[in-house]
Amino acid sequence: MSVLKDKLGKKIEEWRPRTTKLLKDYGDVKVGEVTISQVIGGARGIKSLTTDISYLDPFEGIRFRGFTIPEVMEKLPKVPGSEMPYVEGFFYLLLTGEVPGEKEALEVAEEFKKRQHVPEYVFNMLRQLPPESHPMAMFSAAIVAMQSESVFVKEYDAGLNKMEFWGPTYEDGLNLLAKLPAIAAFIYRLKYKNGDIIKADPKLDMGGNFAHMMGIKKPYDDVARMYFILHSDHESGNVSAHTGHLVASALSDVYYSISAMIDGLAGPLHGLANQEVLRWLQGVMEEMKGKIPSEEEMKKFVWDTLNSGQVIPGFGHAVLRKTDPRYTSQREFCLKHLPDYPLFKYVDVLYKVTPPILLEQGKAKNPWPNVDAQSGVIQWYYGLTEYDFYTVLFGVGRALGVVANIIWDRALGYPIERPKSITTAMMEEIAGIKK
C-alpha cells in the first residue's frame, strides 16, 4: 500500500468514532434555524453540510486544514528551483491534515506519475467534438468518458463492505487527478494550437508537467502550481464542491461526480467568472484604445455595466465579506512578476473604484473582489490569451479538493443527500399570511 493511503487509513480509523458519537449521542442538538429568505434564497448560510478539508471564514477567507494560504505556501515542501510547493504535497495535506515532508510529497508525485496515462479513446472522443465546443464541456465529457475505468464500481458490484468504500474511491480519485493535467493541456492544444500535442515529461511534477504540456515556459510551472492550490477547495457549499458531493452521495463514482462538478463550475456566476472578467476588461481596453483608464473613466464603465442590469464579474461572494485572500495572493504575484503590465493596471484601477460603487448601489452584500478578478491577468501575461480555457484550470485545481472530500465522504459513511422542499403555500401559512 502507498504511504499516503496507509496514512489516510490510520486517520480514518481515528476519525470515525468522532462522527459516530456526534450522530448517536448528539444527533438532536440544533446547529441553527432556517428562515424563509434562506429557503427561497439558494439555501444561503444554512448549516447543513460538513467537511474537515477546508473552512471559509467570511472575514478571514479560506483555511485549508486549518492553514491560511500564506501558511500553506510557506510550510509545504517546494519543487527545487521554484517558489511554489508541490501540488502533490498539498493534496497530501488536504487528505490527511498533516504537512508532508519532502519525502512524502515526492512519494505522492510518484503515485501520480504512475497513474497519469490517459486512455487513447479519450483523445479520440475529444477530436470528434464540434470545434466550437466550450473547453469546459470537453473537459467534463473527457472525465465521464473514463467512467468504465472505475475501480469503485467493480468492487461495489462484487459486494464491497460499506466500511471499505473509501479504498476504491481513493484509487479512482488518484487515477483521475493524475490524468487531469494531460487532458486539460490536450484540450488546449487541440482547440487553440492546431492539435499540436506535447507529450508528458515523466520527470516533472504535476505543475511542471502541466506547463510543459501547455507549451509555456517558466515560471508558468509556478503559476500552474499556485493556481491549482488556490482553486482547490472553498469548503463544501459552493456550486462545484456541493455538486461533486451531492452526486457522489448517490454512490455515483468519482468520474460521474467530478464531471458533474465541472458542469457546475462552468456557470458565469461561479468558475466562469474568470473568463468573464477578461472579456469585460478587453471591452474596456477596446473602448479606451489600450490607454489605462483614469479612476473617473473606469467608474463610468462600472456604472454602465450595473445600469444595464449586469454584474461586475470578479466582485462579490456568497460567503466572503472581505477581499478574497486568493485574490490577494495573486495580486502579490502580479506585483512581484508583472507590476507594469497594462492589464494588471486595469485590474488595479478596477479594484480601487468598484467596491465604493457597489456599496453606493447598495445591492451586493460583499463589494470586494473574489479570486476571479485577478487570475485571468496572470494567464494572459504568460501567453494564455484564450480566456474561455481559464475555467478548465480552475477545474483541475477544484478537483483536488472535491476528490479529497469524496474520499472522506465514503470513509465516514455520509448518506445520500436529500434536503426537504416545501411549497409556496406552506411558507405563506408558516408566515401567517391570510389568503
**Closest separation between CB of residue 342 and ligand AMX, Å?**
22
Q: At what angle do helices 220-230 and 390-411 cross, to 10 degrees?
A: 50
Told to check if 264 binds ligand AMX by CB under 6 A, we report: no
Cβ nearer to ligand AMX, comparing 248 with 272: 272
Distance separating alpha carbons of residues 105 and 102, to the nearest angstrom: 5
Which range of residues in 138-146, 330-338, 369-377, 422-430 is near ligand AMX by CB under 6 A? Answer: 369-377
Selection from 407, 115, 394 nearest residue 262 by Cα = 394
CB of 395 vs ligand AMX, minimal distance in Å: 11
Closest listed residue to residue 181, CA positions, set 261, 234, 116, 229: 116
SS3 133: coil
Active site residue 222: no
Interface residue with ligand AMX, options 3, 151, 311, 412 (CB under 6 A)? 311
CB nearer to ligand AMX: pick between 139 and 166: 139
364 binds ligand AMX (CB under 6 A): yes
Report the half-sphere exposure of 321 (CA within 13 A, side-chain side): 5
**391, 271 in Cβ contact below 8 A?**
yes
Residue 270 interacts with ligand AMX (CB under 6 A): yes or no: yes
Query: Least distance in Å: CB of 348 to ligand AMX?
Result: 17
CB of 32 to ligand AMX, least distance (A): 18
Phi and psi torsions of 20, nearest 5°: -60, -45
As given in the structure block, the three cell numbers for residue 245 are: 458531493
Shortest Å, Cβ 292 to ligand AMX: 22
Q: Does 312 bind ligand AMX (CB under 6 A)?
A: yes
Per the residue annotation, which of 212, 231, 245, 317 is the catalytic one?
317
Rounded to whole angstroms, the Cα distance separating 102 from 118 reads 27
Q: What is the CA radius of gyration of the chain?
A: 22
Closest CA to 366 of 427, 322, 311: 322
**Which CB, 112 or 368, lies closer to ligand AMX?**
368
> Which C-beta is closer to ligand AMX: that of 79 or that of 273?
273
Q: How many residues bind ligand AMX (CB under 6 A)?
A: 21
Is residue 134 part of the annotated active site? The answer reads no
Residue 54: strand, helix, or coil: strand
Contact present, 61 and 207 (Cβ < 8 Å): no
Q: Does 170 bind ligand AMX (CB under 6 A)?
A: no
* Nearer to ligand AMX among residue 140 and residue 366 (C-beta): 366
Q: Which active-site residues does the annotation give?
A: 270, 317, 372
**Where on the chain is the footprint of ligand AMX (CB under 6 A)?**
238, 269-271, 273, 306, 311-318, 363-366, 370-372
